[in-house]
Amino acid sequence: MVRSATKVRKDIIDNCPYLKIIGRGGVGMDNIDVEYAREKGLKVINTPAASSHSVAELVFAHLLGMARFLPESNRQMPLEGDSKFKDLKKSFAKGVELEGKTIGIIGFGRIGQATAKMALGLGMRVVAYDPFLETVNLELSFFDHQSIFFQINTISKEDVLKEADFISLHVPAQKHYIIDTPEFNLMKDGVFIVNAARGGVINEVALVNALESGKVSNAALDVYENEPKPEIQLLMHDKLSLTPHIGAATGEAQERIGTELASQIISIFEEIA
């Protein structure tokens, strides 16, 4: 059983002759040689549904924080809150509301859909792109067991980028950038972006350039091209809201991950027996 940091490559698989199951506690399995393992008769499992809600909540923690200058305010208040309170109040007085705005979701699988549900709950308009889905019927459930259904018809990536005020990425690891300079050029001026998916889906150099030009107002990263050593230019940028790959790092998500893995392991060994 592994998480995202441990690599299960051909050498490990070949040197574990009694191995029967490789389990990934999380969604993406790019750290595992899945096809090779399955060719050798191994079961490879993951927990695609367990962390969806926790990642979506982190996306909105970043979005709400950036929209109201919380990262910068939390840096400045301890330094100047007692001497420049009025100046800081003026600096951070031009926040924006999410209600009534459009969120563009790139990748509309389980996590993208969980993000969409939260956006709808905040009164946002949702536009989504996914190469494998045309229509999704989202069920938005409430504490009193009532539900409302929203039908989301996916559109082209280009249209999502053009229409969105806020953009959230929910795609697996890619060989090429999903967001690069041409994609930034399609976006509205002053857009907000969150990547809580995988490092390497955004060109980080192009992102910094877009932040410097004002094309992107603020961006949030939970994942990086160079983990566990993100580029210093990212770490020091005052328009970036940063977390250390903690999308699934809630107590509730970890419990769901453990339960889901255990249930799958039990089912596999019952089949073998």
- Of 163, 225, 227, 231, which residue is the catalytic one? 227
What is the spatial distance between Cα 232 and Cα 229, in angstroms, rounded to a whole number? 8
The answer to whether the beta carbons of residues 160 and 183 sit under 8 Å apart is no
Sort residue 28 into left (φ over 0), alpha (ψ -120 to 50) or beta: beta
DSSP string, 48-105: TTTTHHHHHHHHHHHHHHHHTTHHHHHHHHHHHTTTSHHHHHHHT------TT-EEEE
- What is the layout of strands, in order, in the sheet containing 240-242? 125-129, 102-106, 166-169, 191-195, 216-221, 240-242
What is the spatial distance between Cα 67 and Cα 98, in angstroms, rounded to a whole number? 8
Residue of 199, 257, 204, 272 lying closest to 49 (CA atoms): 257
What is the spatial distance between Cα 119 and Cα 264, in angstroms, rounded to a whole number? 32
260 is catalytic: no
User: Measured between alpha carbons, how far is residue 141 from residues 4, 123, 247, 254 in Å?
Assistant: 30, 15, 22, 22
Tokens of 10: 């051909």
Which secondary-structure segment (H or E) carries 11?
Answer: helix 10-14
What is the spatial distance between Cα 218 and Cα 70, in angstroms, rounded to a whole number? 12
225 is catalytic: no
Distance between alpha carbon 143 and the CA centroid of its chain, in Å? 25
- Of 198, 204, 237, 256, which residue is the catalytic one? 198
- Of 170, 237, 245, 256, which residue is the catalytic one? 245
68 is catalytic: no
Catalytic positions are 198, 227, 245
